[in-house]
Chains A and B, each alone.
Chain A
Amino acid sequence: MDERAQLAWVARRVGFGLAPGQLDEWASKGVDTVLAELTDPDATGVAAGPDPFAELARGRDDGSAPFRRAVAAWMGSVVVGSRPLESWMQLFWHDYFAVSAQAVRLPGLMFDHFELLRRRGLGNFEELLRAVTTDGAMLVFLDGTTSTGHSPNENYARELLELYSVGLGNFEEADVQAAAAALTGWVVRPRFDGAVTFVSRRHDDTPRSLLGVTGVHDVDTVVEVVARHPATAARVTRLLADRILGPGADPGVVARHQAGFAEGLALAPLVRGLLEDGLGGAATEVLVEPIPWLISAVRALQAPPRGRDVAASLRATGQVPFLPPNVGGFPPPGSYLSTSATVARFNLAAAIAEAARAPTPARLAAERGDTDALAEALGLVAGFAPATAAAISSLDHPRDRLAAALASPDLIVA
């Protein structure tokens, strides 16, 4: 890969595609600088955007309107933001922790949760897990707020072990019960903007054994034990490698990263290392899921889709921010090749093409009928597949050419 191809690969895989002019800007900086800015935006002085939820009502609402507005606000902030990897990691953790607004009725809690995933998503995994464990949205979502020492609720403890740390096969039912007891006492106060407080009389402080470690009795000891278990580092690394290097990546490469990550659970170096290996040839194909695909298309065209069918179309893909379908997160990438997701992609592509007004390189290329330039503007530096290029060229209307390019199968494979 030449440097432009490398940068386009990074953008399509972990960066929500390319805004107009971005590839030139990145090429002038070079790969090393771009990776440093992506993985450590604070240290490299990349400006953080404003809080996308600042203007939205935080209180309880009878309908889902605040969440729908929040979806648009969050996606809009990613479109114009300059920290794409931070947002990509935020979405990764949203899939990982999969808190749903359908269960967390208080919008403010959901906004705080999302902000937590953004702020800590490239930091230290143990700190992230500690913060999520007593996060208000999570305490509501998996019932920590109603769990008491007298009668612990197992919901969060089970998913902590099965989904958020060591994974199946590495714990017993007794570990679920020990963790559930030790995590009791954390309460969300809906009438105080969802403030989280620790109520010691609701807490069972009895020291217990968790994953073979004795003396576990509270949130800090639980998180320390599960986060530092070797299976946790292995699991997090594998899930990130599946997304960044692809599910077909060399297990030896992944194992090397697992060992490195287990040292201090620092996420930014892990992500950077995976990206460097990907650029070095270790990557295999991945499918681009609906949310990143939609944001990429909107960024390239600088055109938010319009129309009342957009909400339905995004729902039809099966991937709506704030609404993962269950505690396991969004469906696996392959499910977005379904009938519904394919139909939804086509409809959204048509809506974005209709809304495209700005003279972006993609739109100008579509007007000229220049499929190679159109492909590059969408991040496909090697061009479209022959069938796609021919199909686009067969269309007379520039908006149809643009819509066809956005809907193309080429754009959902990275």
Chain B
Amino acid sequence: MTLSRRRFVSLAGAAFVGGGLALPGCRSGSRGDDAAGPTPGTAGVAPTPGLTPGSTAEPVLVVVQLGGGNDGLNTLVPTGSAAGRYRDARPTLAVAEEELVPLAGTDEYGLHPALAPLAPLWDAGQLAALQAIGLPEQSRSHFVALDTWWSGAPGPSGGGGWLGRWLDATTGAEPDPMRAISLAGGSPALLGSRSAPIVVQAVEGFSLADPGGRGTLVDAFEAMAAPPGSGLLAEAQAAIPVAVESVAELQAAFRSGEPAGRADAPGALFGAVADIVEADLGTQVIVVNLGGFDTHANQPGQHRALLGNLGAGVAGLFERLEGSGHASRTLLVAYSEFGRRVAQNGSLGTDHGNGGLALMAGPGLASGQVVGELDLVNLDRGDVPRTVDARSLYANALDWLGGPTAEVLGGDWDTYGLLT
């Protein structure tokens, strides 16, 4: 009765390699009439002829988490007063001046060439940067820094994530899980006392199998959730109806988008963001996890590819949302848990640092501008000293969502006039 090792390897190998048989069909995204009916926010509102098609619904915040510690200095590269020290510290790692994408109106910075797709956004006044950004006590540890950024408060997080607190503060009596969606992994930033996001690890496979076309298995799966048990069983039960319902809502949205190769590829992720925004499912916060920015060695090629994904993804997202009339309600912010050491190391890379770089994009910005001072004279243990608090970025994001900003962030933070 035991299965031979070889047989398992050959069968499963084929499956894992992707050459096996297809599963017997997938259940349709529309489960009954609910998913096909009008969605909140657009119910009864017919597009007005002559006006931009799209939604009159709530603002949307897209948060791009650049995991690993993005090298801000090689992303928005100093060309002015700080350029000399930058090039001295990075004799073989500095981005060549002639390669940089110039930014109209400033002599202080140029963009890494891989971010060239973002130049039109800058020219249209729809791209801004926050330089030397960070939080007190964020540390050079990925995990402490991430925790600090997630919570939006220095020290260990206790009160959930900054977006989770916003969700808690603005949610109705019955929390709607569709309000927040995290792509390519979860995000503790979204955890609140009453709120948990939908996590879509990969768009591919985000559907429920319907073996034999019998259509009964999903119903039985949902029926396992009630009556609730206790402890971890109750949590595992509670996850089931949320999963089934979110698949029903999101699957149709994802199918409407561009076909997109490997599902967790960056292009597909930004495509999924556009799908979600355009589907108008009541989603207000979308987190996108882009990893791989921990460039300790052989940085130039890797960083170019990483920024290329980011630049193409963000530009493509706004291009698509412009076409569908949803750009004006969308603000994107991108940040990383820390910047990297000013001086390059011996591996043609950079070690963990302090002050980093955040980007904001969207038609809601007042103008193309860089705020915050980059001080490469008075380094902090070899790192960029922070001159902008991350909560200034968060304050802009929360203002965009309609607040309550000060309540969520525990005070008022300078928003630098970044939004109109």
Contact = CB atoms under 8 A, between A and B. Distances in A.
Given A154-B351, A331-B185, A287 B220 contact: no
Contacts of A340: 199-202, 206
Contact of A409 (B23, B216, B237): B237
Contacts of A303: 3
Contacts of B21: 306-308
Contacts of B1: 20-21, 302, 358-360
A308 B20 contact: yes
30 contacts: A52-B5, A73-B13, A80-B3, A142-B296, A151-B347, A154-B345, A154-B352, A158-B141, A173-B381, A285-B233, A287-B236, A302-B2, A302-B3, A304-B3, A304-B12, A305-B15, A306-B15, A309-B22, A309-B209, A310-B15, A312-B202, A315-B202, A326-B142, A331-B185, A339-B243, A343-B243, A347-B209, A404-B217, A410-B233, A413-B231
Interface stretch (B106-114, B129-137, B222-230, B402-410): B222-230
B23 A309 contact: yes
Given A155-B296, A307-B22, A343-B247, 5 more contacts: A143-B296, A340-B199, A346-B209, A403-B217, A409-B239
Contact of B12 (A76, A403, A408): A76
A313 B205 contact: yes
Interface in B237-268: 237, 239-240, 242-243, 246-247, 263-264
Contact of A387 (B68, B143, B226): B226
Nearest to B341: A154
Contact of B201 (A154, A298, A307, A317): A317
A285 B235 CA distance: 12
Contact of A80 (B5, B204, B231, B263): B5
A397 B214 contact: yes
Given A72-B15, A80-B5, A153 B296 contact: yes
Interface of B: 1-5, 7-9, 11-24, 67-68, 140-144, 177, 185-186, 198-202, 204-209, 211-212, 214, 216-218, 220-221, 223-227, 229, 231-233, 235-237, 239-240, 242-243, 246-247, 263-264, 291, 294, 296-298, 345-349, 351-352, 381
A339 B200 contact: yes
Contacts of B263: 312
Contacts of B24: 354
A396 interface: yes
A119 B32 CA distance: 53
A142 B142 CA distance: 14
A20 B49 CA distance: 67
A167 B205 CA distance: 37
Contacts of A314: 16
Interface residues of A, number: 99
A2 to B, nearest CB: 21
Contacts of B16: 68-69, 71-72, 310-311, 314
Contacts of B5: 49-50, 52, 76-77, 79-80
Contacts of B224: 385, 387-388, 391, 404, 408-409
Given A154-B351, A385-B233, A409-B233, A326 B68 contact: yes
A394 B205 contact: no
Contacts of A408: 224
B186 A331 contact: yes
A128 interface: no
A6 interface: no
A12 to B, nearest CB: 13
B201 A350 contact: no
Contacts, number: 289
Contacts of B294: 155, 326-327
B183 to A, nearest CB: 10
A400 B215 CA distance: 10
Interface in A311-335: 311-318, 325-328, 331, 334-335
A75 interface: yes
Given A153-B349, A325-B185, A387 B237 contact: yes
Contact of A76 (B8, B19, B229, B345): B8
Given A65-B17, A395-B217, A151 B345 contact: yes
A318 B199 CA distance: 10
A404 B219 CA distance: 10
Contacts of B211: 350, 353-354, 399-400, 403
A400 B217 contact: yes
B9 A316 contact: no
A338 B352 contact: no
Question: Across chains A and B, which 5 residue pairs bring their CB atoms closest together, nearest first?
Answer: A151-B346, A409-B236, A146-B347, A312-B205, A76-B8
B346 A339 contact: no
A266 interface: no
Nearest to A347: B209
A390 interface: yes
A137 interface: no
Contacts of B17: 65, 68-69, 72, 311
A213 interface: no
Interface string A350-388: 110111001110000000000000000000000001111
Nearest to A303: B3
Interface in A71-103: 71-73, 75-77, 79-80
A168 B15 contact: no
B227 A387 contact: yes
Contact of B142 (A285, A328, A387): A328
Contacts of A225: none
B380 to A, nearest CB: 12
Contact of A391 (B142, B223, B231): B223
A173 B185 contact: no
A385 B229 contact: yes
Nearest to B200: A340
